[in-house]
Amino acid sequence: MTPRAPRVTGAQALRVLQSHGFRNVRQRESHCILRNATGVRVTVPMHSGKTLHPKVTASIMRDADLTANDFE
């Protein structure tokens, strides 16, 4: 079984992604689009301090090739 996705806000996910080499490319309304040096794109919803749904967090982790440990 895969470990559970951590419960984080959009701002917390953004900080983790930035610490792993992702940079903010643009923002459309409440969604930040980030890319890393190899061109991998990740979209993070930013909804004023609300916790992301575990499926959204799992999708971000899968797209960025990160694990639950990277979020801790």
Q: What is the tens place of the pLDDT at every residue in 17-58? A: 999 999 999 998 999 999 999 999 999 999 888 999 999 999
Q: What is the DSSP code (8-state) at residue 20?
A: T
Q: Count the domains in the chain.
A: 1
* CATH number of the domain bearing residue 48: 3.30.920.30
Structural domain contains residue 14: yes
Domain-embedded: residue 56: yes
Evaluate whether residue 50 is within a structural domain.
Answer: yes
The answer, yes or no, to whether residue 1 has pLDDT greater than 80, is no
Residue 1 lies in a domain: no
60: in domain: yes
Question: Which domain, by its residues, includes 51?
Answer: 10-66
28 domain-assigned: yes
The model carries a pTM of: 0.89
CA distance 25 to 49: 21
